[in-house]
Structure 1
Amino acid sequence: MNNKLYVPLLLSALLVGCNDSNDNNNTSAPEITPPESYTTTLNIVSANMWQNLYRDFNDTSSFEVAVKELQHANADIIFFQEATGITARMAERLGMHYYHGNNSVGSVGILSKHPIKNTIDAHNEYGGNIGAVLDVNGRDVIVFSNHLDYTRYITYDARGGNGITWQAHAGCLPITSQEDLDALNLQSYRPRQASYMLEQLSPYLENNAVIIFGGDLNEASGLDWTEDTANMYDRKGTVHDFMTHRRILDAGYTDSYRHLYPDPATNMGATWPFHIDDSWTQGASYVNECGRGLDDRDRIDFIYYNANAEDIELVDASLIGPRIKTYFPGPHGEDDTYQWDEKHSGMHVNEHGEPTYEERDFVSDHLWYKATFTLSTPGYDSEQESVINHAQFKDITIAEGENDGINISFNLTNTDLWDDALNYQIEVSGDNDLTAWLSHTLNQRPNEQDLISIDVPETVLATLDGSTKNNSLQIRYVAGNQRKHLAVFTILKEDIPRLTK
């Protein structure tokens, strides 16, 4: 047969309420004067996706669990890290706008329920950071997502380990001086990555704009490594003002968590690692040199903001996931003496605010961090069209193919970020699988008018039909060895001829 089946596009529409007034009632409705401004709530989540959520725990899809967590958080803006293969897929599932930098940039992404007015060029050295200007109900909000360099992780050097090799120093001797730790930190890219972001934000800060940024900064804060905590978490008596955060704080930004919870001794706020198996200080070298594995829990996931912006208020902050002590007990029973007052949220947090996550119910090796703001906006809706700085599938057609297979044809648009140095593929997979079931190489940049056609054999459809993990077939435009998913399109089982006979 040669009949073609078309995948319908879903169009959002405004629902107009019915007029339920009584025709016999001649009383005129009172005139309502609209307010000069509205109060908009912004739930912002920083979420490390732990290498694209490639681990599935407890016989469940990590991608599906992450979707449900972000829906539960009612996230308006999301800062992603380690999300090379996640950002476009997650944006499609959550129905959000997204930006994830040029095709060579890995890891970071920005998702937003509010339109993206324009984007800020990415910086990509051992991680990266990208920015965007959002239209939040008529008011500009400038955001940045960061995944800073993980090398020269000097919180290990301060504990008696090595931030490059991840092994213990001989004799487990820590580096404790401010000057020596600063010198080591300058060997990483973190300070210059932070400075790049601050330079990009400087014109907005001068205008006192609403600025909110965060992510996995891979560095602890001097607001946490204080005199009161110097002998906690194997910090060996060290008090240190970490350089990256020092630069951010000196530039005038406010640490949202420490603003609400100023005491690091009672509100540690640690985000990594929360499971002892994910710690890099539990290996043989630490047992040999230190006598035991070390406690390397720290707060390395942050959301900063410009507290001087007009009519913005930080109203809440919480850690998404289990308690930091549940699956990482401190050495020598120290967790029993520490105070743990952190507020938690998430799918498995009970009515008393207590996390009830079973082991590996949470899909990342980082806890996620959520901060809630209110700000005054001119309206209660955004009229701005969102810019699209990423590729898109257009005019997708599904036709029956040979031997019970199907043929999928489409156009690719917005491919101007094509980089000849990268390898590009069209991949077919299940919606919850990170690996490709079928791959087609693109040897040259496609024009918007070029029709691309993919034959999907019956064996691939049979894999989908028999899968309990995947509900749909997904077409992906993929770039580079990092396998960054530049665009995705999901086809439900019921839209596939072979599966609906």
Structure 2
Amino acid sequence: MKKSSFYVFLILLSLVIKSCDNKTNKALTFLTFNVWQEGTSVPNGLNKIRDVILKTNPDIVCFVEVRNYQDEDWTSKIVNILEKSGKHYYSGYAGGDVSFISKYPLENGKQIFKNKDKGTVVNFNLNVDGNIIIVSGAHLDYTYYASNLPRGYNGGDPDWKMIDDGNGKPAPYTILDSVQAYNLKSTRDEAISAFIESVKPESKPVILMGDFNEPSFLDWTRKTKNMFDHNGLIMPWYNTKKLHEAGFIDTFRTFFPNEVANPGFTWPSFAHEKTSTSWAPLADERDRVDYIFFRGNDIKIKDVCIVGPKESYVYNTLETLNTDQEQFIANQLPWPSDHKAVYAKLVFTFKNKND
């Protein structure tokens, strides 16, 4: 090798090394947790929620179904009981029924969407050692719950009752366009559109967590069309597909790409000291409706888990079917919700601030 070429090689190598030195990897853990009327639905629910946080030790938590009953700041209350257990979290509440707690400061909270009790989306800036990540929490409209239709149940309109086949059994409704049209009568699509618009110009990393009350288009596929009472329907569920098209990554389905081996059900969960949480007792209504999404080039998925019990209600009976290959944590704790939670460990690459 000529001397001049060798010198050029050394210069290029030093630039690559310097570029690597200018960046820092940071692992952060996220938990999305529907706390079922802020823990009031089960005995001693607040302490059960605390115990889940202590067990999983997440950096950032998105809570759904925060009602602030009697004008009480529930998010500050959970922060205070965690403080007594030696865990310090910042509190973030910007309205609606979604809130955050975080080991890092939460700034500039803003409510992006609210339609009474039919949908909330909030955005916060998460300040991680001077690096800003946008964290968003969503609880989408529970009405027009369209995934009930293929199971032979109404989804809130005209009611929540079984569609009787004349013999006392559910009559599945599986006309795709009609199911989607029913789905779009909810405000879920308006909420997701408002969220996407709110972060459209952002170059910062974006994390979206919450309960969508709608399955994923990645789960109702050709492989699962004859499973879980999909009754032959391959369904391009609107809101997860809309996020996918906007560049958002579904952490669970990316980490576990096989929807048969890892269905990832979060609903309807067994809840401690409660009878059935099922809304469609003569059907298999299990679905993955709680999510952690992200957008950003310098983000890697390190780990994803379902948080909570292995049991779900299937035809109104507690079962652990289809859980053999799932990864659970905190599944031995008394569980306070009708939803399971979702945990994700993500690694971010940040530029060093001094460069």
2:164 is aligned to 170
Deviations 1:438-477 (A, max 9, x none): xxxxxxxxxxxxxxxxxxxxxxxxxxxxxxxxxxxxxxxx
1:157 is aligned to 149
Q: Please give the residue correspondences for 1:349-428 in structure 2 after superposition, counting only pairs within 5 Å.
A: 355-357=331-333, 361-378=334-351
- Rate the CA distance shift 1:84–1:184 in 2: closer, same or farther, 3 A: same
1:109 is aligned to 99
- Rate the CA distance shift 1:332–1:99 in 2: closer, same or farther, 3 A: closer
1:420 is aligned to none
Measure how far apart 1:127 and its partner are. Answer: 2.5
User: Aligned match of 1:99 in 76, 92, 98?
Assistant: 92
Could you list the runs of 4 or more consecutive aligned residues of structure 1 that deviate by over 6 angstroms after TM superposition?
A: 331-335
Q: Does 1:139 align with 2:131?
A: yes
Q: Does 1:218 align with 2:213?
A: yes
Measure how far apart 1:170 and its partner are. Answer: 3.0
Determine the C-alpha separation between the residues in 2 that align with 1:342 and 1:173.
31
Maintained 8 Å contact 2:213/2:289: yes
Determine the C-alpha separation between the residues in 2 that align with 1:182 and 1:378.
43
User: Aligned match of 2:76 in 58, 80, 88?
Assistant: 88
2:328 is aligned to 344
Deviations 1:321-362 (A, max 9, x none): 11135xx356899966x463110111xxxxxxxx445xxx11
- Rate the CA distance shift 1:378–1:252 in 2: closer, same or farther, 3 A: closer
Determine the C-alpha separation between the residues in 2 that align with 1:56 and 1:270.
21
Q: When the two structures are superposed, what TM-score results if normalisation uses the length of structure 1?
A: 0.59
**What secondary structure does 2:151 align onto?**
coil
What runs of 5+ residues in structure 1 fail to find an aligned partner?
1-33, 283-292, 347-354, 381-501
Q: Please give the residue correspondences for 1:166-315 in structure 2 after superposition, counting only pairs within 5 Å.
A: 166-171=160-165, 172-204=170-202, 207=203, 209-275=204-270, 277-282=276-281, 293-306=282-295, 309-315=296-302
**What secondary structure does 2:247 align onto?**
coil
2:6 is aligned to none
Partner AA of 1:91 in structure 2: V
Deviations 1:285-305 (A, max 9, x none): xxxxxxxx1111110000000
Determine the C-alpha separation between the residues in 1 that align with 2:305 and 2:90.
24
Measure how far apart 1:235 and its partner are. Answer: 1.4
2:140 is aligned to 148
Maintained 8 Å contact 1:270/1:324: no
**What secondary structure does 2:46 align onto?**
helix
What runs of 5+ residues in structure 2 fail to find an aligned partner?
1-19, 69-73, 83-87
1:54 is aligned to 40
Deviations 1:238-268 (A, max 9, x none): 1101111111111111110000101111101
Partner AA of 2:350 in structure 1: T
Determine the C-alpha separation between the residues in 1 that align with 2:220 and 2:210.
19
Q: When the two structures are superposed, what TM-score results if normalisation uses the length of structure 2?
A: 0.82
Partner AA of 1:75 in structure 2: P
Deviations 1:112-131 (A, max 9, x none): 21112322333111121101
Which entry has the higher C-alpha Rg, 1 or 2? 1
RMSD of aligned alpha carbons:
2.2
Q: Please give the residue correspondences for 1:432-447 in structure 2 after superposition, counting only pairs within 5 Å.
A: none
Measure how far apart 1:36 and its partner are. Answer: 3.1
Determine the C-alpha separation between the residues in 1 that align with 2:225 and 2:318.
17
Maintained 8 Å contact 2:285/2:314: no
Alignment identity in percent?
Answer: 28
- Rate the CA distance shift 1:176–1:62 in 2: closer, same or farther, 3 A: same
Determine the C-alpha separation between the residues in 2 that align with 1:259 and 1:317.
10
**What secondary structure does 2:198 align onto?**
helix
Maintained 8 Å contact 2:278/2:316: no
Determine the C-alpha separation between the residues in 2 that align with 1:46 and 1:332.
26
Measure how far apart 1:80 and its partner are. Answer: 0.8
Deviations 1:187-239 (A, max 9, x none): 101010111111101111xx2x2111110000001101111111111111111
Deviations 1:27-84 (A, max 9, x none): xxxxxxx953332211100000101111344xxx221121121122111111110012
**What secondary structure does 1:183 align onto?**
helix
Maintained 8 Å contact 1:138/1:379: no
Partner AA of 1:374 in structure 2: V
